[in-house]
Structures are given as C-alpha cells and as structure tokens.
A = this chain, B = another copy of it.
Amino acid sequence: MIRHPIELVIEKADTAIVQEDFDALIDIYSDDAILVVKPGMNATGKIQIKKAFEAIAVHFNHTLHVEQAGLKILEAGDTALVIARTVVSAANMPATERNATYVFKKNSNGNWLCQIDNSYGHELLLHEDVR
C-alpha cells in the first residue's frame, strides 16, 4: 500500500521525539506552527516548540515514547486534517491513548509541514480557557 507522505512525516517526528533529535523534529513544523504543550498552554514557532519538546523530554526523564495506533488523513487543497490515535508512554507514565488532531499544510516545494499539533484533541474542551 502506498502511504500518504504525511504518514512518513509523522513517523519521522515520532522517531525524532524518541531519539531526542530536536533539530530534526522542528524541521517538520512550519515557521508559524502551534504546538499544544498541554491544555491551555501553546508553543508558537520553531524556537518555542523546540524548547517545549526539550522540557517534555526532561519531564519524562528522557524515556518518552510516541507512536500512532491509528491514522486517518482528510486532504483538501494544500491543507490536511489528521485524526490520530496517539499512544504516549514513559518510564513514569503508563501507555496513554490520545485522540490527537493535527493540521498539515503543503508548502510551495510540495512538502507537508505541521501547522497545528494538538495531541490532546477534545481534552481541550475540558479546561477552563474553553471559548
């Protein structure tokens, strides 16, 4: 089966997180990307996103593991919505499934970059900054 290029980008990102290769990791984000660090706290742009992942790695004592247990891509023009079941685990956290939502954009070179990274999905609605 031919895999969607976005699947390969997500795979690269998951590997980069596990290997703590943060320079490779931020390559998959657009310049004005947003990462939901935790509900109510966002990082914007490559510098903030890199710092957030460094802090996350420390928080999980450098044992964080991320993988996708299911993935569905809806593509419309140069935009794609990814509906994912993301499994996160670490030495100090049992495997946790998240209903993640990611938005990707295709740039002028034809490469898909992550524009919005919300691994918490609808958990955002449970927090007080709900609009």
Contact = CB atoms under 8 A, between A and B. Distances in A.
A122 B85 contact: yes
A105 to B, nearest CB: 6
Q: Name the prevailing secondary structure of the A interface residues.
A: strand
- Size bracket, chain A contacts: 35 or more
Given A101-B101, A130-B70, A122 B77 contact: no
A81 interface: yes
Q: How many copies of this chain sit in the oligomeric assembly? A: 2
Interface in A110-131: 115-116, 118, 121-122, 124-125, 129-131
Interface stretch (A30-38, A54-62, A88-96): A30-38
Contacts of A16: none
Of residues A3, A42, A77, which shows the largest number of chain B Cβ atoms within 10 Å of its Cβ? Answer: A77
A116 B34 contact: no
A115 B85 contact: no
A103 B30 CA distance: 16
A25 B68 CA distance: 35
